[in-house]
């Protein structure tokens, strides 16, 4: 054995200290962003932008310093003999991947992207307001140009889209998505057709009455607590667009919004964000202040929100217990309705123009369309000028609806104005994975559906925590899905679930 000076931190400890610095700064930036969406006075947008940009740039420069690269190399030797599954071994693999990625993008390009985005965002707001794509077009052209150059800087094997996709779904390729989404499309289009043409119509007017906001808020909190959201280690607030963010294992923030004329908005929004929040609260605290304190990918994170929102909270079993609580809160509005009527109402399928308002069945078609358009743009089969027509044609083809204007079509989402090309697929992957995970959970613990129907959500949460949440970002999405389900990502379980559920609801 050789002599080690106990007072000198090892290379691994030095690296971890560096990563903790970066994590602290990123957490601070997340607090500023949360405040921006929840409390910030309107006039403060510019100063807050400067503060957040400063923190991002600091985190980036501390993480990509030469020293970190040297520590990664030195540490790789220290961890060489470790089990592949050890926290440290996973940490080093992940950090090396992130470091190589972040070092590949020149700072000038990062700054250019930030500037292009900032200008595009205001242009998009105005364009959407006036339903005038021409106003947004030059900005989107610059965005496609700058993200293409970022993609070139990052490097890829098959498609320039892959480099962008990796920012949200590590190691995923667009060729895999083409395959998975192909299956999805083949299954969804006939199901939507059948529902539309042959289904027994669903009446959901009971959801569109007047529901006072305080009772909605209280009910949402009650369900959040039943799900296991720990209010000592987190909180819920109101924001225009609901979101979840996390500053530490002990500080997870979720938001909701309440529409007094639509019961679904707060109810399913709260449960959706609650699914994200349980993930963040469930990551093992040993992984805090490191890059592993995160979801495995955007798609895996979304699987948790959709599992709770759709697979659980849009199930008949869930409402066989919770409808009584809902009736206590809203006796006049809901007193006369039984579980079956309510269950059908919350699962009404209707092809529509707006992604964020889409039901569980048609939702993924909105994503397919965006994925196809994004890859066409990145692989230069489509110009930005031709995008609105391409959008409308695909809407007609997949959903048989035609946008009356660009505000209800190509201009509806903020993502492209935010330079987030490659992000949309995660939403659809979340839907597929939610069912894959739930199927596995009920195989491992067959009591889960029965317990949900008794209002006991703890067994499902415990399974999710053990199998998914606790690991944080230790594994790549592919590794995690393989580990949990024993196979690769697949559209089949999701399609089976939809067919069983909706053929029943629509008497097909």
Asked whether position 233 contacts a copy of itself by CB under 8 A, the answer is yes
- DSSP reduced 3-state for 245: strand
Q: Stretches 40-48, 93-101, 380-388, 498-506: which one binds a copy of itself (CB under 8 A)? A: 40-48
Residue that has been written with the tokens 């009584």 in this structure: 324
C-alpha 216/C-alpha 326 separation (Å) is: 9
Is 158 considered catalytic here? no
How far is it, in rounded angstroms, from Cα 160 to Cα 154? 9
Dmax (CA) for the chain in angstroms is: 78
Nearest distance, CB of residue 125 and a copy of itself, angstroms: 19
Return d(Cα 266, Cα 272) in angstroms, integer: 10
If one counts every other C-beta atom within 10 angstroms of the C-beta of residue 2, the result is 3
When binding is defined by CB under 8 A, the residue of 27, 123, 164, 287 that contacts a copy of itself is 27
Measured torsion, CA atoms of residues 89, 287, 221, 262, in degrees rounded to the nearest 10: -50
Q: Which two tokens stand for residue 222?
A: 């009650």
Catalytic residue among 67, 88, 158, 273: 273
Give the DSSP letter of residue 3: -
CA–CA distance, 119 with 443 (Å, rounded to integer):
50
Residue 414: CB atoms within 10 A of its CB come to 13
Using CA atoms, how far apart are residues 87 and 221, in angstroms rounded to an integer? 34
Stretch that binds a copy of itself, among 53-61, 91-99, 391-399, 447-455 (CB under 8 A): 53-61
User: What are the φ and ψ backbone dihedral angles of 486, each rounded to 5 degrees?
Assistant: 80, 5
Q: What span, in angstroms and rounded, lies between the C-alpha atoms of 274 and 295?
A: 14
Instruction: Note whether 51 binds a copy of itself by CB under 8 A.
Output: yes
Rule CB under 8 A: is residue 433 a binding residue for a copy of itself?
Answer: no
- The region of 16-24, 219-227, 385-393, 456-464 touching a copy of itself under the rule CB under 8 A is 16-24
- Our CB check for a copy of itself shows the closer of 233 and 415 to be 233
Fill in the per-residue mask, 288 to 317: x = in contact with a copy of itself (CB under 8 A), - = not in contact: xx----------------------------
Q: Compute the least distance from the CB of residue 309 to a copy of itself, in Å.
A: 23
Residues in contact with a copy of itself, counted by CB under 8 A, come to a total of: 38
Among 15, 19, 25, 457, binds a copy of itself (CB under 8 A): 25
Told to check if 225 binds a copy of itself by CB under 8 A, we report no
By C-beta, is 44 or 400 nearer to a copy of itself? 44
Residue 255 or 297 having the CB closest to a copy of itself: 255
User: Is residue 31 within the footprint of a copy of itself (CB under 8 A)?
Assistant: yes
338 binds a copy of itself (CB under 8 A): no
Residue 62 DSSP one-character state: H
Strand intervals (E) in 84-154: none
Residue 39 in the binding site for a copy of itself (CB under 8 A): yes
Question: In angstroms, rounded to a whole number, what is the distance separating the alpha carbons of residues 307 and 317?
Answer: 14
Catalytic sites, residue numbers: 273
Q: Which residues bind a copy of itself (CB under 8 A)?
A: 20-21, 24-25, 27-29, 31-32, 35, 39-44, 46-48, 50-51, 54-55, 58, 230-235, 237, 247-251, 288-289
């Amino acid at each position: 054995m050789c002599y080690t000076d106990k007072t000198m931190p090892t290379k691994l400890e030095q690296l971890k200290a560096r990563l903790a610095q970066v994590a602290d700064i990123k957490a601070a930036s997340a607090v500023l962003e949360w405040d921006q969406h929840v409390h910030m006075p309107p006039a403060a947008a510019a100063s807050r932008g400067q503060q957040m940009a400063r923190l991002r740039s600091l985190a980036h420069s501390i993480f990509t310093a030469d020293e970190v690269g040297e520590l990664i190399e030195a540490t790789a030797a220290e961890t060489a003999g470790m089990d592949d599954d050890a926290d440290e071994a996973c940490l080093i693999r992940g950090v090396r991947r992130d470091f190589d990625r972040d070092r590949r993008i020149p700072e000038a390009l990062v700054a250019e992207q930030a500037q292009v985005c900032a200008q595009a965002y205001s242009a998009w707001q105005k364009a959407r307001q006036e339903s005038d794509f021409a106003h947004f077009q030059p900005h989107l052209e610059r965005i496609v140009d700058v993200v293409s150059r970022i993609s070139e800087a990052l490097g890829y094997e098959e498609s320039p889209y892959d480099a962008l996709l990796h920012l949200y779904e590590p190691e995923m390729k667009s060729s895999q998505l083409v395959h998975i989404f192909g299956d999805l499309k083949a299954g969804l289009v006939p199901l939507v057709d059948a529902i539309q043409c042959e289904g027994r119509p669903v009446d959901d007017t009971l959801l569109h009455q007047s529901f006072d906001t305080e009772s909605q808020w209280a009910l949402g909190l009650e369900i959040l607590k039943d799900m296991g959201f720990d209010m000592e280690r987190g909180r819920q607030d109101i924001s225009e667009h609901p979101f979840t963010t996390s500053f530490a294992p002990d500080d997870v923030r979720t938001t909701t919004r309440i529409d007094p004329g639509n019961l679904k908005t707060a109810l399913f929004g709260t449960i959706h964000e609650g699914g994200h929040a349980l993930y963040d609260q469930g990551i093992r605290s040993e992984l805090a202040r490191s890059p592993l304190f995160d979801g495995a990918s955007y798609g895996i994170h979304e699987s948790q929100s959709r599992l709770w929102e759709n697979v659980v909270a849009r199930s008949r079993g869930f409402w066989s217990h919770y409808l009584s609580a809902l009736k206590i809160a809203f006796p006049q509005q809901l007193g006369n309705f039984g579980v079956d009527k309510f269950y059908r109402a919350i699962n009404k399928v209707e092809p529509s123009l707006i992604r964020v308002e889409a039901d569980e069945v048609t939702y993924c078609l909105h994503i397919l369309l965006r994925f196809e358009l994004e890859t066409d743009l990145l692989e230069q089969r489509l110009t930005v000028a031709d995008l609105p027509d391409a959008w409308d044609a695909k809407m007609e083809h997949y959903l048989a609806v035609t946008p009356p204007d660009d505000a209800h079509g190509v201009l509806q989402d903020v993502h492209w104005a935010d330079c987030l090309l490659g992000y949309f697929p995660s939403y659809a992957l979340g839907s597929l994975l939610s069912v894959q995970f739930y199927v596995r959970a009920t195989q491992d613990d067959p009591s889960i559906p029965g317990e949900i129907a008794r209002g006991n959500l703890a067994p499902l949460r415990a399974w999710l925590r053990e199998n998914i949440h606790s690991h944080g970002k230790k594994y790549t999405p592919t590794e995690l899905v393989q580990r949990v389900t024993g196979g690769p990502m697949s559209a089949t379980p999701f399609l089976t679930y939809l067919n069983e559920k909706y053929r029943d609801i629509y008497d097909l």
